[in-house]
Amino acid sequence: MSTDSGMFGAHGSGDTSGFGGLTRTAASTGSTERPYGSYFDEVADELERAYPEFHDAIERVVVYREELTLHIKRERLFDIAKKLRDTPSLRFEMCMGVNGVHYPEDAGRELHAVYPLLSLTHNRRIRLEVSVPDSDPHIPSLVELWAGNNWHERETYDMFGIIFDGHPSLTRILMPDDWHGHPQRKDYPLGGIAIEYKGGTVPAPSERRKYN
């Protein structure tokens, strides 16, 4: 159990956006016990039949807010994803991309990658999640399975610094190639960087916004 105060843990910023005064209690969600409900038990059973090493590959299964999330060991991610895509009883034909998350307080698991999957055949949705340490931010690329992940993996690399091994061209996609740092990480400094657009310089947010 932990308490977060303000967006990105900021204190005393004078932020008038509403985030500065936000205080909420964050509880760690443990592994969900069977039955999971809905079609989630059937998905888990079918995946276990298709991939007998299921229990060695899965760190935990979480059902939260009517969503099923399989927390996968990174070395098993590609195999699990392939089974989810190709097994007729599962057939998750679409990966809706990959989202990065940064939990600096989660020692040894600071960087998370989340994959929302959609089965058009069975009208089902689940999520995969992989956690890696900041000191070793490598996760297998899934571009070979879902070509649309190409740009999503590049964006997650650009914004969070997660390295997708096997990606055909893992380069920055939003920031300049020589940019330092990863702007959506929670340890990235807010403001203080002036940006130039075609010769016109926009002052850093910390220099152009005033608070009452």
The helix/strand count (H/E) of the chain reads as 5, 12
Using CA atoms, how far apart are residues 56 and 53, in angstroms rounded to an integer? 5
Using CA atoms, how far apart are residues 61 and 30, in angstroms rounded to an integer? 8
Mapped onto helix, strand or coil, the DSSP state of residue 65 is: coil
Instruction: Please report the pLDDT score of residue 176 as a whole number.
Output: 85
Instruction: Name the stretches of the chain with pLDDT < 70.
Output: 1-29, 191-212
Using CA atoms, how far apart are residues 93 and 83, in angstroms rounded to an integer? 11
Instruction: Please report the pLDDT score of residue 188 as a whole number.
Output: 86
From the candidate CATH numbers 3.40.250.10, 1.10.1670.10, 3.40.630.10, 3.30.460.80, the one assigned to the domain spanning 30-208:
3.30.460.80
